[in-house]
Structure 1
Amino acid sequence: MDGRSSEDEAAGTGRDPAGRRLLRSSGSAVRTAVTSTAGRRIGTGLAVLAVSLIGIVIGMLLGGRVQTDIGPFQAEMAITPSVTGETRVNIPPLGSLQLDSHQGPTRLTVQLGSLDQRRVEALIDDPASINRASQSAVEDVTNGVMRVGLRTVAVAVLSTLILAALLFRNMRRVAWSGALALLITGGSLGLAALTLRPQAIEEPRYEGLLVNAPAIVGDARRIANDYSKYAEQLQRLVGNVSQLYTTVSALPVFEPAPGTTRVLHVSDMHLNPTGWQVIRTVVEQFNIDVVVDTGDMTDWGSEPEASFVGSISVLKKPYVFIRGNHDSPTTAAAVARQPNAIVLNNSTTTVAGLTIAGIGDPRFTPDKATSPAGSGLSKETADQLIATGDQLAATVKASPTPVNIAMVHDPSSAGPLDGVCRLVLAGHTHNREVRTLPEKPGVPPTQLMIQGSTGGAGLRGLEGEKPTPLTMTVLYFDQQKLLQAYDDIQVGGTGESQVSLERHVIREPAGVNPSAPVTPTPTR
């Protein structure tokens, strides 16, 4: 020890213990103040961020949607938060399809609603409007997306400002919340726009009944390319159907006499609205008395498809219909509600002096592709179709008035009608064919006329290398209600042909009295 006291040490070092304590306490106070200030700022920032996010979500859910028209559809567009960016198109009750259309935490939902009947009829009335509608549909979607985007940003910022004002009661924090909401919402939508993938439309994911769509539609890219060419051709063709008159005037072989009844045979529309325009043009220009339809007006027979039948009433002519294998009872009921329509199901009717018998297809197989008559049929199905023909044959025999036309959907049902009815009309195969059923001695032959597809087979008709043409037939009956001639009309098709008409005159075989009544004979 050097014998110095603690006071001497303190004096020797020049330090005062009280001063040291003061310095320590001052430093601690400064550190505490700094720490608490930083904590408050972080807490305030987190609170502002939380309020902004909550305000954005509330705004999107409450107001991030707009009503818009897309072509003839009434639709609703909405932007909502999502973990991954996508576009979802809901088509109730058929299901929905999803597209990986963009990146970012936003989802665009398009809810297709009802069809506007007036706009649908306008499209049918004016072929050129189909092209305008397809072009305006793209503009409708673009305008709708821009409107819903701007509305979403505005509503998200507004709801955030209101929420911040209620919680903070501090103008600076309210302003920061609104600015942050604008930055997040605008940035998310900007990211979606910058990462947009238009090719996503070629790679949809289906849900609900639409999972069957790829089997029907096939390669979307090929059909889209084909349809653009086909649509251009059809617009030119439909607008120029007046060429039919020119063709008719060059056919001196057959001149319909006064009192002739004209029947238009159509079949297999498969939801193609262009077919209605051609039908309406032919009905007016050929002065058609009755339209007969051998089925497959729809593809799936669903409730939304039932609106397609509304164009029947526009024709203002009797419309006789039987179900095809793609038509459901819902479809038949929708047709029956049309004021000028008659649905036959193993029954008869008399219109324009003609007695017509018809029966619907016994099957409901909307998921089946079209196949030639009799090919690929199981024995059970073949027996079912023949039994359907037997039922109609019995109805024809029991009719108090001679039946002039019998209608079946599948030609496989026509066999039992041989010798029972002079004329049998069918469809189903999408391939026009006329043939005489096996003749029976002393009995006028039975003619089987198979129609092609008046709707060009719908979307199915675009899956091949060349689109399926639209076909229909005008049948001419004399005053004795016997078929005298028929015109096969084809719109579209291969090559440069726009509209073609082939006239055929019926010539009775030697030794057959055309006015002799048909004597029913055993069919099996």
Structure 2
Amino acid sequence: MDGQHDEQHDGTGDRDEPVTDAAPRRSVGRPAGRPGPVRRTGVILAVLAVALAGAVLGVLAGGRVDTDIGPFRANLTLTPASTGGTTVDVPPLGALLLDSHDGPTHLTVRLGALDQGRTEALIDDPASISRASQSAVEDVRSGVMRLGLRTLASAVLVTLILAGLAFRDVRRTAWAGGLALLVTAGSLGTAAATLRPQAIEEPRYEGLLVNAPAIVGDARRIANDYTKYAEQLQRIVGNVSQLYTTVSALPVYEPAPGTTRVLHISDLHLNPTAWQLIRTVVEQFGIDVVIDTGDITDWGSEPEASFVGSIGLLKKPYVFIRGNHDSGRTGAAVARQPNAIVLNNTTTTVAGLTIAGIGDPRFTPDKNTSPAGSGLTQKVADQVIGAGEQLATTVRRSPRPVNIALVHDPASAGPLAGTCPLVLAGHAHARQISKLPQAPGQQPTTLMVEGSTGGAGLRGLEGEKPTPLSMSVLYFDQQKMLQAYDDITVGGTGQAQVNLERHVVEGPTAGPSPSVTPTPTR
């Protein structure tokens, strides 16, 4: 029994030994260190994940360049997206959305500040606008090429860094970098292959730009009209000096020594041609002070702020109040000009004239506003009239008698009756002159509304005949009382000419007597 037990025990021991040796024999024939199928799949997925993450992070980190597009400084940005397309961001007006391409990349073009040098060149030479539009296409193409190369480089570099930290293996890092290059290049190649240049003709609008098609009209036709219009106005402006020589000989009114000459302008609405005309009149008529009753810009945006740089070229005091198209940023840009004075319920004394003014209480660049206060809602009417009431209080409290009060909308003028002899306004894009209703014992107050010195901007070209450029020269005697004024109208009638109407103020309550002198262009 004992022997049998021992034999069984030994047999069991012999069987245990092969079982113990079987495990190492299963690995015989496989190279040492080679991963199994599951591990290989995991490594491949990890490399792919790191490559995709690196490509996305690289695009987000480096997919942007700054470039010049015409007079604008622009920022181009690429971002991963489920669908392609382009967004042209024009702060603070809104954006244009273009269905420009397919693929998982989205291009954003953010227009920034205007380059002062290029903008001044456009203002001084309107014909260069067409050249700038042609060069802008090449600017965009060059910027997009640089953006693509920078994006590729950034995607590969970030992926290599990420893979090196994750794997600490040269081969896997190289694979991840190659995959990132392939994915990024493929995405950019898809965008290039599916590019649709005609998409710019069918944009979608966001923000205030939703109103752009209705406001501006047919942009191509306006651009063509503007080129012809600018050429015509350049010929017309040269005749202002001849007009001045003719008017000086008129016996109607001879300015006495000590006369203060004020040029009243309003509603330039970004028309660069207006500056050339203003400079000519300032020089030829010996202007002492320029008064601007607002709407120097159209949208009050940051790029438009550089338009006011021409104020400094006038080298004369420039008194300004904001219109409903001028933002606080516009007012600040005007105030930075060395010869400018911005009034906002304040007074100033210039060339012996004490002037009070207040900006329009509204900021309505979308043009949802009615001229001269007609059809205003009660809330808006209260705002506009309230501005006049605030200014009237300021005028009454002024330590010096106020000679001229400035408002943008004529609807603000009512409360100023009897507070000063003259109120100047704009906004209506049409000249008007009237006496404000006065209470018994009050001094008479005349309201003079100027037309649009900028011809209503580009909108003035939408009709069959352009809106004329209008401005007035006011003559004040040594007692700072208005004695006469010249209304100057340039172009806009379809007949290239300059018209001047001279009005002599014969008494404090007398009406003006006009004398008209047309000067046709050659």
C-alpha RMSD of the superposition: 4.2
Preserved CA contact (<8 Å) 1:404 1:481: yes
1:114 counterpart SS class: strand
- Report the Cα distance in structure 2 between the residues aligned to 1:198 and 1:155, rounded to whole angstroms: 27
Preserved CA contact (<8 Å) 1:202 1:221: no
| Equivalent position to 1:508, from 491, 495, 506 | 506
User: Which sits farther off after the overlay, 472-481 or 232-241?
Assistant: 232-241
In the TM superposition, 1:354-369 aligns within 5 A as 354-369=353-368
Which amino acid in the other structure matches residue 316 of structure 2? K
- Report the Cα distance in structure 1 between the residues aligned to 2:37 and 2:465, rounded to whole angstroms: 73
Which amino acid in the other structure matches residue 191 of structure 1? T
Which residue of structure 2 lines up, in the alignment, with residue 247 of structure 1?
A: 243
Which residue of structure 2 lines up, in the alignment, with residue 425 of structure 1?
A: 424
Which amino acid in the other structure matches residue 432 of structure 1? R
Which amino acid in the other structure matches residue 225 of structure 1? R
- Report the Cα distance in structure 2 between the residues aligned to 1:485 and 1:141, rounded to whole angstroms: 53
Q: CA, structure 1 residues 257+113, in 2 after alignment: closer, same or farther (shift >3 Å)?
A: same
Which residue of structure 2 lines up, in the alignment, with residue 80 of structure 1?
A: 79
**Identity of counterpart residues, as a percentage?**
66
User: Which sits farther off after the overlay, 77-86 or 293-302?
Assistant: 293-302
In the TM superposition, 1:381-420 aligns within 5 A as 381-382=380-381, 385-386=384-385, 388-393=387-392, 395-396=394-395, 399=398, 401-418=400-417, 420=419
Preserved CA contact (<8 Å) 1:161 1:175: no
Which residue of structure 1 lines up, in the alignment, with residue 342 of structure 2?
A: 343
Q: Deviations over 1:185-220 (max 9, x none)?
A: 44433432343333433544455xxx1222355266
| Equivalent position to 1:233, from 229, 244, 248 | 229
Q: CA, structure 1 residues 467+225, in 2 after alignment: closer, same or farther (shift >3 Å)?
A: same
User: Which sits farther off after the overlay, 140-149 or 472-481?
Assistant: 472-481
Preserved CA contact (<8 Å) 1:218 1:463: no
Q: Deviations over 1:345-399 (max 9, x none)?
A: 4443221122223233344444453423242134555455445445544554555
- Report the Cα distance in structure 2 between the residues aligned to 1:513 and 1:272, rounded to whole angstroms: 33
Q: CA, structure 1 residues 86+386, in 2 after alignment: closer, same or farther (shift >3 Å)?
A: closer
In the TM superposition, 1:360-379 aligns within 5 A as 360-379=359-378
- Report the Cα distance in structure 1 between the residues aligned to 2:398 and 2:277, rounded to whole angstroms: 34
Which amino acid in the other structure matches residue 170 of structure 2? R
User: Which sits farther off after the overlay, 260-269 or 226-235?
Assistant: 226-235
Q: TM-score, length-normalised on structure 2?
A: 0.74
Q: CA, structure 1 residues 425+113, in 2 after alignment: closer, same or farther (shift >3 Å)?
A: same
Preserved CA contact (<8 Å) 2:89 2:95: yes
Shift of 1:423: 2.7
Q: Deviations over 1:207-259 (max 9, x none)?
A: 5xxx1222355266613431342245225524762222133333332555543
Q: CA, structure 1 residues 452+197, in 2 after alignment: closer, same or farther (shift >3 Å)?
A: farther
Matched, 1:222 2:221: no
- Report the Cα distance in structure 2 between the residues aligned to 1:279 and 1:317, rounded to whole angstroms: 11
Preserved CA contact (<8 Å) 1:444 1:513: no
- Report the Cα distance in structure 2 between the residues aligned to 1:323 and 1:361, rounded to whole angstroms: 6
In the TM superposition, 1:78-477 aligns within 5 A as 78-92=77-91, 95-156=94-155, 169-170=170-171, 174=174, 178=178, 184-207=183-206, 211-215=207-211, 218=214, 222-234=218-230, 237-238=233-234, 241-251=237-247, 252-253=249-250, 256-299=255-298, 301=300, 308-379=307-378, 381-382=380-381, 385-386=384-385, 388-393=387-392, 395-396=394-395, 399=398, 401-418=400-417, 420-437=419-436, 446-458=445-457, 460-461=459-460, 467-477=466-476
Shift of 1:162: 6.9
Q: CA, structure 1 residues 175+221, in 2 after alignment: closer, same or farther (shift >3 Å)?
A: farther
Which residue of structure 2 lines up, in the alignment, with residue 486 of structure 1?
A: 485
Q: CA, structure 1 residues 438+283, in 2 after alignment: closer, same or farther (shift >3 Å)?
A: same
Shift of 1:267: 1.6
Q: CA, structure 1 residues 158+408, in 2 after alignment: closer, same or farther (shift >3 Å)?
A: closer
1:148 counterpart SS class: helix
Q: CA, structure 1 residues 88+134, in 2 after alignment: closer, same or farther (shift >3 Å)?
A: same
User: Which sits farther off after the overlay, 104-113 or 458-467?
Assistant: 458-467
Shift of 1:455: 3.4
Q: Deviations over 1:306-360 (max 9, x none)?
A: 5554443343321212233344555444444443222334443221122223233
- Report the Cα distance in structure 2 between the residues aligned to 1:92 and 1:77, rounded to whole angstroms: 14
Q: CA, structure 1 residues 144+132, in 2 after alignment: closer, same or farther (shift >3 Å)?
A: same
User: Which sits farther off after the overlay, 300-309 or 427-436?
Assistant: 300-309
Preserved CA contact (<8 Å) 1:131 1:235: no
User: Which sits farther off after the overlay, 504-513 or 219-228?
Assistant: 504-513
Q: Deviations over 1:270-297 (max 9, x none)?
A: 4445544443443344432111111233
- Report the Cα distance in structure 1 between the residues aligned to 2:440 and 2:93, rounded to whole angstroms: 53
Q: CA, structure 1 residues 320+43, in 2 after alignment: closer, same or farther (shift >3 Å)?
A: same
Q: Give aligned pairs, total.
A: 475
1:77 counterpart SS class: strand
1:218 counterpart SS class: helix
Preserved CA contact (<8 Å) 2:236 2:490: no
Preserved CA contact (<8 Å) 2:233 2:491: yes
- Report the Cα distance in structure 1 between the residues aligned to 2:85 and 2:57, rounded to whole angstroms: 20
1:250 counterpart SS class: helix
- Report the Cα distance in structure 2 between the residues aligned to 1:382 and 1:37, rounded to whole angstroms: 82
Which amino acid in the other structure matches residue 80 of structure 1? T
1:90 counterpart SS class: strand
Structure 1: unaligned runs, 5 residues or longer: 1-28, 30-35, 515-524
User: Which sits farther off after the overlay, 278-287 or 46-55?
Assistant: 46-55
Preserved CA contact (<8 Å) 1:55 1:157: yes
Matched, 1:60 2:59: yes
Q: CA, structure 1 residues 469+51, in 2 after alignment: closer, same or farther (shift >3 Å)?
A: farther
1:138 counterpart SS class: helix
